Amino acid sequence: MRLYAVTVYAFLYLPIAIIALFSFSAGRSASSMDGFTTAWYARALSNPFVMESLWTSLRVALLSAILATVSGTMAALALTGMKGRLRALFDGLVMIAVMIPGVVIGIAALIALMTVFGAVNPWIELILGRQLSMGLGSLIGLHGMFTMSLVVLIVRGRMETFDRAQIEASNDLGADPFGTFRQVTLPQIAPAILAGFLLAFTFSFDDFIMAFFVAGSETTLPIYIFSSIRRGVTPEINAIGTMVMVASLILLMIAQILLRPDKSRAEG
């Protein structure tokens, strides 16, 4: 049984280890290991295409995660303890956003936005002298819409496990709603909010498929990696991949540790 578990863990982590290993290979060929070098890392970090797409990805991930965390937390606060049709409608929207494949969400957003842009652009051009097009705005909008759903699920999960009597007690003692939120609710849900933010950031940073459709002329890092591996895997791509994996592993570990007390409490 234990051996089996070790095998499955090896299966889960072997491919990650292989990429990290080959990123240090001194040979030009990406498929054999000869020598040790960190040159590919230096090369990746001085490649202007890599740095530019990295910069785009970071901006999109940061902005979409901030917007998603704020509006997702607001929605989670409103939804807790709420019943009726509006609650059912919102639960439905959150589920749809999470369940519909990214490829369909990407396509739907692409044709909807292109149709709207096509209709309004003559007017926008007339008034502002420029046109609407796909790019940072559509990337942030679409990633944020998806990751906001994750934030709602995570924050609402935490809201539902904490003792509501504390809020009532605070109200009875004369605190105004904002005071109660700041002094009672926020300290308890803060770890969940931060975890939601980290997950939102990681998702946006790693997403390829939605970005592929709505990026317009922008290139995010996953889009760069995807088009590079179509031309063949290089040690440089392995170095980029390793850095991306290590960065997301660190963020995810932090997110998981933040969510941990929540689980132990839910288990009682």
Partner 1 sequence: MAMTQSRARALLLAPAGLWYVTLLVFPLAVVLIFSFGERNPIGGYAPGFTLEQYANLPSRFAAFRNTLTLAPLGTLAALIIAYPLAYYLALRVSPRWKTTLLILVIVPFWTSILIRSYAWIYLLGGNGIPALLEALGIDSIRLINTPFAVLVGIVYGYLPLMVFPIYVALDKLDKSLLDAASDLGTPPWRSFVQITLPLSMPGVLTGSMLVFILLTGEFLIPAILGGGKVFFVGNALVDLFLQSRNWAFGSAVAVALIVIMLIVVALYARAIRRFGASRDDVGIM
Map the footprint of partner 1 across residues 62-91, applying CB under 8 A: 70-72, 74-75, 77-79, 82, 86, 90
Tell me whether residue 164 or residue 260 sits nearer to partner 1 (CB atom).
260
Query: Residue 199: is it exposed, middle or buried by C-beta count within 10 angstroms (0-12/13-18/19+)?
Result: buried
Asked if 260 is part of the footprint of partner 1 (rule: CB under 8 A), the reply reads: yes
Q: What is the Cβ-side half-sphere exposure of residue 157, based on CA atoms within 13 angstroms?
A: 18
User: Considering only CA atoms, which of 63, 27, 47, 100 is closest in space to residue 221?
Assistant: 47
Closest distance to partner 1 from the beta carbon of 52 (Å):
18
Build a one-symbol-per-residue string for 86-125: x at contacts with partner 1 by CB under 8 A, - elsewhere: x---x--x--xxxxxxxxxx-xxxxxxxxx----------
Angle between helices 48-79 and 221-230 (to 10 degrees): 130
**In angstroms, rounded to a whole number, what is the distance separating the alpha carbons of residues 129 and 127?**
6
Q: Which of 121, 161, 188, 248 binds partner 1 (CB under 8 A)?
A: 248
DSSP state of 101: -
Map the footprint of partner 1 across residues 128-167, applying CB under 8 A: 141-142, 144-145, 148, 150, 152-154
82 phi, psi to nearest 5 deg: -90, 145
Tell me whether residue 102 or residue 135 sits nearer to partner 1 (CB atom).
102
**In angstroms, rounded to a whole number, what is the distance separating the alpha carbons of residues 163 and 198?**
25
Tell me whether residue 131 or residue 205 sits nearer to partner 1 (CB atom).
205
Build a one-symbol-per-residue string for 201-240: x at contacts with partner 1 by CB under 8 A, - elsewhere: -xx--x-xx--xx--------x--xx--x---x-------
Asked if 61 is part of the footprint of partner 1 (rule: CB under 8 A), the reply reads: no
Map the footprint of partner 1 across residues 183-202, applying CB under 8 A: 199, 202
Determine contact, residues 262/191, Cβ cutoff 8 Å. Answer: yes
